[in-house]
C-alpha cells in the first residue's frame, strides 16, 4: 500500500533542530514514511494533492485525561477524542485517569485499573487517534514488584503524581525510579491543586523526585510561581517542561521565553489538559500553538516541534517527526479563509488557528475538511483512491 502526497507548499518536520524541509512531496509505504523530497512520483494506491498547503506531523497531546472509550465522565461528553482528531491530534497521552467514578485507590485496585485501561486503548483507537493511557496515580504502599507487574501488563506511564496520596518528592522518588526501570514515563503535577483533596506542588518536590515530565508548569489550572518555573528551567535535569492549554497563558509565555533563553526548547512539550474543569477543547493544542507562536519570538515551525517531535522523544514514540521510517501521522493545513496570513505557519505567527483540510494516521486519510477548524484557504484533496469524509460547519 503506497500513498503519495504531492503539491505541498511547506513541510514542517517536527524536529526543532531542522524544522523546515526542502520538499514538496511525501511518499508512504504501509503506514510509514518512505521518502520526503521534491517531485516524488511513481505508482501509488492513494494520491493526495495538498494544493499548496502545509504538511506537518500529527499533533501529540501530552496531557489528556481519558478514562474509557471515547467518553469523559468529567464533562459527560461523547466522542471528544474523535473531535480532537479534527483539531490535528493524532496521538493522545494520558496524564492519569482520576475521573473514573469510584477510582480505586488501594494497590490492587489501581494496578488493575491501569492495566485494564492501557490494554483497552492499545486495542481501540477512537476515531483513529492513537491513545496511550493506563497511567496510574501513585498511592502510598506501592513497591517495586507492583511496577514490574503493571509493566508486564502493558502500562507505560505514571499519571500525575500528587493527585493521590504520594505528594512529596521524597516519597515519589523511589517509585519514579522503579517505574523508569520498568519502562514507564512519569509526570509530576505542579502548581495549585486541580481536584479537591490534592495540594499545591512546587519545584522542590519535582526536583526531588526527578520525573520525566514536570506537568503543566503554567498551571493545571493554577500556575507555579515564576521563581519555581525558573528553577525547573535552569535545573540541569533534563526533565521535560510541559505547557498546557487549560492553564495560565501568561506564565506559559514566561516559561517558553525562559526555556528559549536557556537553550532548553528541546525540553518543552505541549498538552491540552482536557477533559478537565475547563472543558473539552478539541482545538486546545492548536490554540496553545497559536498563543505561543504569536506572542513570543519562537518561530511557528519550532512551536510545531514542541507539540510533535519533542513529545515523541520523551515518550519514545515513532510518530511526531516526518522522516523516513517514522509513522505517517500527518496533518495538512493552511491559513484559514479570511486570515491576513498566507500559510499555516503565518497563521500561527499571527495568532490565527490554521484550517485543517486532511489528517492521516499511519498513512490513511481519516479526516477531510475538519469540522472544528475554520475552512482552509487551500484544501488538500484525494485525487486517487477512496474519498475521505469531511466535516464542515
CB 223, min distance to Zn ion, A: 11
Q: In what order do the strands lie in the sheet with 240-244?
A: 157-161, 185-188, 213-214, 240-244, 268-271
Count residues binding Zn ion (CB under 5 A): 4
Nearer to Zn ion, 194 or 302 (CB): 194
- C-alpha 32/C-alpha 339 separation (Å) is 33
User: What is the longest distance spanned by two Cα atoms in the chain?
Assistant: 60
Could you say which of 111, 189, 291, 369 contacts Zn ion (CB under 5 A)? 189
* Residue 242 binding Zn ion, by CB under 5 A: no
Helix H segments across the chain?
Answer: 80-85, 107-122, 144-152, 169-181, 203-209, 226-234, 249-261, 284-295, 300-306, 309-315, 344-350
CB 240, min distance to Zn ion, A: 15
Question: Which residue has its beta carbon closest to Zn ion?
Answer: 220
CB 216, min distance to Zn ion, A: 6
* Residue 362 binding Zn ion, by CB under 5 A: no
Nearer to Zn ion, 216 or 326 (CB): 216
CB 160, min distance to Zn ion, A: 5
CB 193, min distance to Zn ion, A: 8
Piece of 41-49, 78-86, 215-223, 228-236 that binds Zn ion (CB under 5 A) = 215-223
- C-alpha 374/C-alpha 352 separation (Å) is 10
Q: Is the backbone peptide bond immediately before 221 cis, with ω within 30 degrees of 0?
A: yes
199 grid coordinates: 495540594
CA distances from 373 to 21, 127, 284, 390 (A): 25, 17, 11, 12
Residue 242, beta-bridge partner list: 269
Going through 138-276 in order, the beta strands assigned E by DSSP cover: 157-161, 185-188, 213-214, 240-244, 268-271
CB 194, min distance to Zn ion, A: 5
* Residue 220 binding Zn ion, by CB under 5 A: yes
Rg of the chain taking only CA atoms, in angstroms: 20
Q: What is the contact mask toward Zn ion in residues 129 to 168, using x (rule: CB under 5 A)?
A: -------------------------------x--------
Which residue shows C-alpha cell 486532511? Answer: 358
Piece of 3-11, 194-202, 240-248, 385-393 that binds Zn ion (CB under 5 A) = 194-202
- C-alpha 46/C-alpha 343 separation (Å) is 25
Interaction with Zn ion in 294-313: which residues (CB under 5 A)?
Answer: none
Nearer to Zn ion, 86 or 189 (CB): 189
CB 283, min distance to Zn ion, A: 20
Nearer to Zn ion, 99 or 231 (CB): 99
Piece of 192-200, 251-259, 354-362, 379-387 that binds Zn ion (CB under 5 A) = 192-200
Piece of 13-21, 109-117, 186-194, 360-368 that binds Zn ion (CB under 5 A) = 186-194
Contacts of 130 (CB under 8 A, 6+ apart): 90, 91, 92, 319, 329, 361
Nearer to Zn ion, 189 or 369 (CB): 189
- C-alpha 249/C-alpha 143 separation (Å) is 38
CB 63, min distance to Zn ion, A: 8
Instruction: Confirm if 42 and 4 have CB atoms less than 8 A apart.
Output: yes
Applying CB under 5 A, the residues found at the interface with Zn ion are 160, 189, 194, 220
Amino acid at each position: 500500500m503506497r500513498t503519495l502526497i504531492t503539491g505541498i507548499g511547506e513541510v514542517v518536520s517536527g524536529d526543532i533542530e531542522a524544522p523546515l524541509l526542502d520538499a514538496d512531496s511525501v511518499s508512504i509505504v504501509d503506514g510509514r514514511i518512505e521518502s520526503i523530497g521534491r517531485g516524488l512520483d511513481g505508482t501509488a494506491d492513494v494520491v493526495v494533492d495538498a494544493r499548496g498547503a502545509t504538511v506537518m506531523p500529527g499533533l501529540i497531546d501530552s496531557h489528556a485525561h481519558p478514562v474509557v472509550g471515547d467518553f469523559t465522565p468529567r464533562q459527560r461528553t461523547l466522542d471528544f477524542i474523535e473531535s480532537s482528531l479534527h483539531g490535528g491530534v493524532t496521538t493522545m497521552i494520558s496524564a492519569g485517569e482520576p475521573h473514573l467514578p469510584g477510582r480505586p485507590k488501594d494497590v490492587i485496585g489501581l494496578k488493575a485499573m491501569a492495566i485494564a485501561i492501557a490494554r483497552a486503548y492499545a486495542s481501540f483507537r477512537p476515531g483513529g487517534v492513537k491513545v496511550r493511557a493506563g497511567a496510574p496515580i501513585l498511592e502510598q504502599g506501592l513497591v517495586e514488584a507492583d511496577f514490574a507487574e503493571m509493566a508486564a501488563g502493558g502500562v507505560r506511564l505514571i499519571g500525575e503524581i500528587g493527585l493521590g496520596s504520594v505528594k512529596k518528592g521524597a516519597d515519589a522518588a523511589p517509585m519514579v525510579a522503579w517505574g523508569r526501570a520498568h519502562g514507564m514515563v512519569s509526570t509530576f503535577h505542579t502548581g495549585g491543586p486541580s481536584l479537591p483533596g490534592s495540594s499545591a506542588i512546587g519545584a522542590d518536590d519535582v526536583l526531588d523526585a526527578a520525573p520525566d515530565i514536570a506537568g503543566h508548569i503554567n498551571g493545571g489550572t493554577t500556575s507555579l510561581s515564576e521563581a519555581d518555573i525558573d528553577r525547573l528551567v535552569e535545573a540541569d535535569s533534563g526533565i521535560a517542561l510541559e505547557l498546557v492549554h487549560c492553564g495560565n497563558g501568561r506564565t506559559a509565555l514566561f516559561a517558553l521565553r525562559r526555556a528559549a533563553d536557556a537553550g532548553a526548547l528541546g525540553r518543552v512539550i505541549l498538552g491540552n489538559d482536557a477533559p478537565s474543569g475547563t472543558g473539552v477543547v478539541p482545538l486546545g493544542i492548536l490554540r496553545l500553538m497559536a498563543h505561543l507562536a504569536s506572542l513570543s519570538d519562537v518561530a511557528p515551525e519550532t512551536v510545531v516541534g514542541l507539540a510533535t517531535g519533542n513529545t515523541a522523544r520523551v515518550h519514545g514514540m515513532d510518530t511526531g517527526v516526518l522522516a523516513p521510517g517514522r509513522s505517517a501521522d500527518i496533518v495538512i493545513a493552511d491559513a484559514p479563509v479570511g486570515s491576513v496570513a498566507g500559510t499555516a505557519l503565518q497563521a500561527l505567527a499571527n495568532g490565527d488557528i490554521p484550517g485543517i483540510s486532511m489528517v492521516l494516521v499511519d498513512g490513511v486519510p481519516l479526516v477531510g475538511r475538519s469540522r472544528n477548524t475554520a475552512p482552509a484557504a487551500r484544501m488538500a484533496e484525494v485525487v486517487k483512491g477512496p474519498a475521505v469524509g469531511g466535516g464542515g460547519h
